[in-house]
Amino acid sequence: MATVKTLLWLGLSLSAFGITTADVNSVPRAQDVHWVSLDFTTHLRWSVTSSDYTYTVRFSREDADWEESPNCIQISASECDLTQSLKASDRAYFADVQTEIMDMDYELPHTQSSRFNPYRESNISAVSFTVAPLDDRRVIVNITDPLTSIYDRGKQLSIRDIFKKDLNYKIRYYKSGSTGKRDEISNSSMKVIPGLDKGESYCFMVATFIRSRPKATQQGSWSMQQCTESSQDNLQGVTPSIFQLLQFWQPEDSFLDLSVGAWVGVGFIMLTVLIVIVTVTVLCCRQRNKTLQTSQSSAPV
């Protein structure tokens, strides 16, 4: 009730008596002003307690004058895209969110952001890469430098254009089924990984690694892992075809409603299972015979 009364009183005083300096204190400030930045797309966000006001965002590079952000003058949103206003060079910025009231002469309530340097603090998303075998014991990891939202004379800059020599990639890899992981740092987008075990499958992940940054933001997001094929995996040819056949099976169909395709699928699965059973049995018997023969021949006479 108290707040309703306050609002009524505020409304009355606004309309009947005009705004007094004291009322400025009850004009809500932007709260929780914070930066969100991914691959140099940088937004300032804040929260508001009332939708009755608009906001103007100003920004300044450290030791420079404040400028208004052209797209964020008297906006009613609680977010401002500052991507094009912030240079990607290693400089820090402040922003300031001012609550707007019409026809006011005195200083408006405003909230200043924390210091923000996109070069050091913009998060870097997962990169895409390929991994291809070079020979028995080496693979080549080929990383695509991600693009940012920064343009320079019409050219969209990649993170390598911005970070230059500071840009490294961390390549993490492990042998399939083993827990030991190895990290390699690469200063180029292509890296040969030597010393792998012949015929084994290895899995790789990549993240950007910017040495000059503070620890907390040094490493970008990890990419999805990619694995090389093991040359010993004989089942690989068979397994996918069974899964492809299984796609004919529609679990919601009643048994008799199965399509021709599904029947063919079922037939194939049964046939495959039969072949596997026969093969396994034959192999087992042959193995046992061999073992028997061996034990017979090596038995003392």
Rounded Cα–Cα distance for residues 32 and 250 (Å): 51
Rounded Cα–Cα distance for residues 210 and 119 (Å): 10
Using CB under 6 A, which of 5, 153, 155, 165 touches ligand NAG?
A: 165
Shortest approach of ligand NAG to residue 149 CB, angstroms? Answer: 13
Using CB under 6 A, which of 41, 60, 111, 123 touches ligand NAG?
A: 123
Q: Can you list the alpha helix ranges (DSSP code H) found in the chain?
A: 2-12, 21-24, 118-121, 159-163, 215-218, 239-246, 260-298
Using CB under 6 A, which of 8, 14, 36, 270 touches ligand NAG?
A: 36
Residue 34: Cβ-neighbour burial (10 angstroms; 0-12, 13-18, 19+): middle
Six-digit token string for 215 = 């620890």
Shortest approach of ligand NAG to residue 128 CB, angstroms? Answer: 8
Rounded Cα–Cα distance for residues 241 and 265 (Å): 11
Please give the single-letter amino acid code of residue 153.
Answer: R
- Determine, following the binding rule CB under 6 A, whether residue 68 of this chain makes contact with ligand NAG: no
Size of the site for ligand NAG (CB under 6 A): 9
Using CB under 6 A, which of 121, 166, 184, 200 touches ligand NAG?
A: 121
- Determine, following the binding rule CB under 6 A, whether residue 158 of this chain makes contact with ligand NAG: no
Nearer Cβ to ligand NAG (43/61): 43
Shortest approach of ligand NAG to residue 264 CB, angstroms? Answer: 40
Shortest approach of ligand NAG to residue 274 CB, angstroms? Answer: 44
Residue 76's nearest CA partner among 107, 98, 51, 39 is 51
Using CB under 6 A, which of 21, 71, 84, 144 touches ligand NAG?
A: 144
- Determine, following the binding rule CB under 6 A, whether residue 166 of this chain makes contact with ligand NAG: no
Shortest approach of ligand NAG to residue 87 CB, angstroms? Answer: 16
Query: Tokens 């920064």 correspond to what residue?
Result: 150
DSSP 235: G
Shortest approach of ligand NAG to residue 168 CB, angstroms? Answer: 9
Query: Tokens 């599904």 correspond to what residue?
Result: 262
- Determine, following the binding rule CB under 6 A, whether residue 142 of this chain makes contact with ligand NAG: yes
- Determine, following the binding rule CB under 6 A, whether residue 35 of this chain makes contact with ligand NAG: yes
Are 226 and 174 in contact by the 8 Å Cβ rule? The answer is: no
Which positions from 175 to 204 touch ligand NAG by CB under 6 A, shown as an x/- string? ------------x-----------------
Name the β-bridge partners of 139: 133, 193
Rounded Cα–Cα distance for residues 65 and 255 (Å): 76
**Footprint of ligand NAG (CB under 6 A):** 35-37, 121, 123, 142, 144, 165, 187
